[in-house]
Amino acid sequence: MSKLSIRPGASADIRQVADLLNEIIAAGGTTALTEPMTRDALEGWLFDNADRSTWHVAIDDTGEMLGFQWIGIWPELPPEACDIGTFVKTGRSGLGIGSALFEATKQAAIDLGYDWINANIRADNSGGLAYYQSRGFRDWGQLDNIELADGTKVNKTLKRYDLKD
């Protein structure tokens, strides 16, 4: 893999991020998203509640988008917690992209005043569960029979990462 860089996401990244995310959605099985994400919807999600959310992108030295990670508000969480979403280009997992993104995200969560990060992961997403476990997230809850937009029902594992000792 060529040189990897992590930086805050920007409006100029939306097209590449949408392409990456829609490729993951089309492959299925790892995200609760089941319908392609439009640029407008994605921009709304990534920039919503900008004072309590942020996102980072991973790009290589050719400018190829390799992944992105978002943190922000999830209504079911207390105000001291944020939710996280991690997306790595299909076929590129296991190369350190998610790890590099998480280092930037951890600091951003602290800077935004959060005490802990929640990961809401499909229970059948073994790669996602392993990723968050390897970052130090621990199980704290389970959601059963969650219906996705396409009618599929899945269970979800909730994991948390404490930012303060």
Instruction: Lay out the sheet containing 138-147: strands in order across.
Output: 4-8, 54-60, 65-72, 81-88, 116-122, 153-162, 138-147
What is the pLDDT confidence band of residue 90, given thresholds at 50, 70 and 90? confident
More confident residue, 84 or 154: 84
Give residue 33's pLDDT.
64
Give residue 28's pLDDT.
64
Q: How do the domains of the chain map onto residue ranges?
A: 4-162
Average pLDDT over the chain reads 88
Domain 4-162 indexed as CATH 2.40.30.30: no
Lowest mean pLDDT: which of 53-67, 74-88, 101-115, 144-158?
Answer: 144-158
What is the pLDDT confidence band of residue 13, given thresholds at 50, 70 and 90? very high
Per the CB < 8 A criterion, the answer to whether 73 and 49 are in contact is yes
AA letter at 67: G
Is the pTM above the cut of 0.85? yes
